[in-house]
Amino acid sequence: MGKIAFVFPGQGSQTVGMGQAAVNENKNSKEIFEMADNRLGRELSSLIFNGPQDLLTKTVNAQPALLTTSIALLEYLKEAGITPDYTAGHSLGEYSALVASGAIDFTDAVYAVSKRGEFMEEAVPNGEGTMAAVLGLDRSILKEITDTVTNGGHSVQLANLNCPGQIVISGTVAGVEKAGELAKEKGAKRVLPLNVSGPFHSELMKPAAEKFTSILDEINIKDAETPVITNVTANPINTKEDIKNKLIEQLYSPVLWEDSVEKMIDLGVDTFIEIGPGKVLSGLIKKVNRNVRVFSVQDPESCEVTLKALRGDGE
């Protein structure tokens, strides 16, 4: 049997009410939400379960909310004795992956991502930075475009390399708009502006990375028990020094998601389990490789479906 990877979604997958069913059914899942509230000193769980959505979507709330929900759902798989050979997460999701791999304790992670969200929001004044998804254009062509625009005095770069034909660019409003226009001229099918509060995974996030270094100094990062495929290089890492360095770099570097999925497949992974709300990563993985098995655990019901399928292989 092939290897299993646990993968965790990033910002954008948050919805009001996520994790509620898990809390109602599972004592350990409930404790995860209580631990988050206690560590942050605020009622994060109430915001997750009751909204409003616009407040939940704010970066400083969405990041700890998604981490908490993902780790609460992870409890089901832990109780069932399902363990991964690798973990990975998309941007913010890398913190859930690190918790799952034993490198960071949950309460430290929820504190860290809350601060990460705060610093990311502060890094660039509102309205000055943005992101856009470019569909149907080759990575190398888009890289040439962003380099040209940056050399022309605007800031823009590749931010999320999600799957073939879907790349997100990030930078100043002028830089992203200019790169978007050139991308269309070069044959991009569509350029979709994203509703985000800043130019994430771009050089403009370096002030956030500098501040965030002190937060990572405060928390206890350990060597990972399970290798984590990091966004920055799409390679497995497990030493605490590597983990810390990559978390800082991740703030201003592209998320190499397509490369990460391909790396895990090269390493023998044929089963991906997305743990957290939504099915964004499941869709991206299928676009990278249609032959792998992909499951989504976003509530107790979908977890049961996943466990039955996995057990079916072992019988």
- Beta 156-163 vs 86-89: how paired, if at all? unpaired
The answer to whether residue 90 is catalytic is: no
203 by Cβ neighbours in 10 Å (0-12 / 13-18 / 19+) ranks as middle
Q: Are 200 and 133 in contact (CB under 8 A)?
A: no
Which positions ≥6 away from 117 have C-beta within 8 Å? 58, 59, 60, 61, 62, 63, 64
Which residue type sits at 23? V
Which of 90, 170, 201, 282 is an active site residue? 201
Cα(246)–Cα(252) distance, rounded to whole angstroms?
A: 10
Phi-psi sector, 42: left (phi>0), alpha (psi -120 to 50), beta? beta
The answer to whether residue 91 is catalytic is: yes
Which of 13, 29, 45, 91 is an active site residue? 91
Beta-bridge partner residues of 134: 167, 191
Cα(253)–Cα(2) distance, rounded to whole angstroms?
A: 31
Exposure pattern of 213-245 as b/e (b: 16+ CB <10 Å)?
eebbeeeebeebebbbbbbbbbbbbbeeebbbb
Instruction: Give the N- to C-terminal CA distance of the chain in Å, as an integer.
Output: 12
Q: Are 103 and 86 in contact (CB under 8 A)?
A: no
Beta-bridge partner residues of 161: 167
Q: Which residues are catalytic?
A: 91, 201
